[in-house]
A = this chain, B = another copy of it.
């Protein structure tokens, strides 16, 4: 096989594996793929030397839309507030589409992702990387003062977690809406800073009365 043939075959087998996951409602290994496709084990091994290679390919396919969105938004010429919103909203809307299409399958992918977190971590790190770029741009324009990029990153990630966490989608899908996300992004741009402005107690937490 040429490299291009191998890539095409890999894509095809990954799609086939994802169809099988959807049909069976369970994780799929290389042996299942051999049984379902009647392709020889040796040929499957050529494409996916290890079990984790098959799973990694599935995860790559799952996140391919997210990555395209993030690259496009970061490279766009939108105002920075709009970039932030698109960065989260587009992925959220696509994720919700997937969830509503088949909630049980979505839940299964969440489980598989949690059980194989090492395969997923790279994509979460990549999202943090792109968001850090956007934060740096925003800070150049004077937003999020008195915060390191990492500190702003963790605070923003926590404030928008309802729109990025598949587990939150499973729990409160019906409460999530794009216009709420827009108000949250606006709140972050208007209010996020590293300054202590009155929420924390000077004298410690248990200072009631």
Residues of A within 8 A of B (CB): 72-73, 76-79, 81-82, 84-86, 89-90, 93, 154-155, 158-159, 161-162, 165, 167-168, 171, 175-176, 178-201, 205-209
B168 to A161, Cβ gap below 8 A? yes
B192 to A187, Cβ gap below 8 A? yes
Residues of B within 8 A of A181 (CB): 199
Residues of B within 8 A of A73 (CB): 208
Q: How far is the CA of A49 from the CA of B192 in the complex (A)?
A: 52
CB closest chain-B residue, reference A177:
B154
Residues of B within 8 A of A162 (CB): 158, 161
- Write 26 A-B pairs (CB below 8 A) sorted by A numbering: A72-B208, A78-B207, A82-B198, A82-B199, A82-B201, A82-B207, A85-B199, A155-B180, A155-B183, A158-B175, A158-B180, A158-B184, A159-B159, A161-B161, A161-B168, A165-B168, A182-B200, A186-B196, A186-B197, A186-B199, A187-B192, A187-B193, A188-B191, A189-B197, A190-B190, A190-B191
B77 to A209, Cβ gap below 8 A? yes
Pick from A85, A159, A181, A189 the residue with the most CB of B within 10 Å: A159
Contacts A186-B197, A198-B81 given; indicate if A205 touches B155 (C-beta within 8 A): no
B208 to A187, Cβ gap below 8 A? no
A205 to B93, Cβ gap below 8 A? yes
Residues of B within 8 A of A197 (CB): 81, 186, 189-190
B86 to A187, Cβ gap below 8 A? no
Query: What distance in Å separates the Cβ of A100 from its nearest Cβ neighbour in chain B?
Result: 17
Query: What distance in Å separates the Cβ of A166 from its nearest Cβ neighbour in chain B?
Result: 11
A76's partner among B76, B183, B209 (CB-CB below 8 A) is: B209
CB closest chain-B residue, reference A192:
B187
Q: How far is the CA of A72 from the CA of B207 in the complex (A)?
A: 11
A154 to B180, Cβ gap below 8 A? yes
